[in-house]
Amino acid sequence: MEYTIKMIADFLGGTIEGNPDKIIRGFAKIEEGKEGDLTFLANPAYTRFIFTTGASAVIVNRDFKPDKKIGATLIRVDNAYEALAQLLTFQEQQKEKPKGIHKLAFLDQGVHVGEDAFIGAFAFVGKNVTLGNNVIIYPQVYVGDHVTIGEGTVLHPGVRIYHDCRIGKNCIVHAGTVIGSDGFGFAPKSDKNYRKIPQVGKVILEDDVEIGANVTIDRATMGATVIHHGVKLDNLIQVAHNVEIGKNTVMAAQTGIAGSTKIGSNCMFGGQVGISGHLHIADGVKIAAKTGVPSTIKKENMIIEGIPALPRLEFQRSFICFKRLPDLVKRLEKLETLLEEKKS
């Protein structure tokens, strides 16, 4: 990467304050920037670093107002974080993508491979698999029989896709993730043992889905577990059988969703959220980290928190009382003692 600040500003539709001719060779965090680096300021908590950064240029929001002189050139845009994402995406697209089938990859009968696809060493592709154009399958990936993978999708090393699953276009699945493992289905028997219920469904990932590392998405008992368009799942998430996640919903690490729960569109879950089975979560719901959700959330765009989940303001008021419990207990004990003394 080597561009002038003017070229970058033109690409982003931004305006420049400072020297437009400086050369940018890379990216850096604002507190670590040096000559030739480009950085950004989107979070006000990092504002102090803009006055000391050694970076040549800083992307800032148009309404940013410094209270003292800044040494770096500023590129003002509507949304600094979005502009950075745009630049990083552009840089990533410039990298040469691998193509071809490695001689140590194994392809079973009936595999269809699209144009400019890549299959790395020790990857296994089962019978009657269809791979779209520009699909990238890194080494040691397993793709089971009758799987379909859409154009431009990337499977990172160690991904396992079980039989009959369907992956859409431009998806990214990170290392160690398992898609299509059996759902947790067991029927209690009279002798207190359990009979396994065969899981005969599948998993469907629609287009533009990104799945983090070491995620498990179970196949449906019947029908399909469905991850809709644009969903983003962080690392170490469990999605149980017959779950449905609505479009553009995002979830942070270690979230767990029990079977047959339906999540709406444009929801946001913090880390370690737990959702019970057979629930419905309305569109736009935001759930704070470590929240436990035992019942259906019908109202759209709610913010909930706590165990069990409550509307956020209600939870925060309750938590203030909870913190006072030790003092309240002491006062209660003191009152009980006084009452006993009066009785005697």
Tell me how far the alpha carbon of residue 169 is from its chain's centroid: 17
Most confident of the ranges 10-19, 307-316, 330-339: 10-19
Residues 104-133: pLDDT tens digits? Answer: 999 999 999 999 999 999 999 999 999 999
Query: What's the pLDDT score for residue 39?
Result: 97
pTM: predicted TM-score of the whole model, two decimal places: 0.88
The active-site residue out of 229, 241, 278, 280 is: 241
Q: What is the mean pLDDT of residues 309-338?
A: 86
- 288 has a pLDDT exceeding 90: yes
Residue 281 CB burial class (10 angstroms; 0-12, 13-18, ≥19): buried
Query: What's the pLDDT score for residue 211?
Result: 98
How many helices (H) and strands (E) the chain has is answered by: 4, 40
Distance separating alpha carbons of residues 272 and 252, to the nearest angstrom? 7
Q: Could you confirm whether 241 is annotated as catalytic? A: yes
Answer for the pair 1, 70: CB distance below 8 angstroms, yes or no: no
Query: What's the pLDDT score for residue 320?
Result: 84
Mean pLDDT of the chain: 95
The pLDDT confidence band at residue 9, using thresholds 50, 70 and 90, is very high
80 phi/psi in degrees, rounded to 5: -65, -40
Residues 149-163: pLDDT tens digits? Answer: 999 999 999 999 999
Residues 76-100: pLDDT tens digits? Answer: 999 999 999 999 999 888 888 899 9
Tokens of 286: 């935001």
Distance separating alpha carbons of residues 214 and 143, to the nearest angstrom? 16
Distance separating alpha carbons of residues 201 and 187, to the nearest angstrom? 17
Strand residue runs (E) in 135-177: 136-137, 142-143, 148-149, 154-155, 160-161, 166-167, 172-173
Query: What's the pLDDT score for residue 194?
Result: 95
Distance separating alpha carbons of residues 271 and 261, to the nearest angstrom? 18
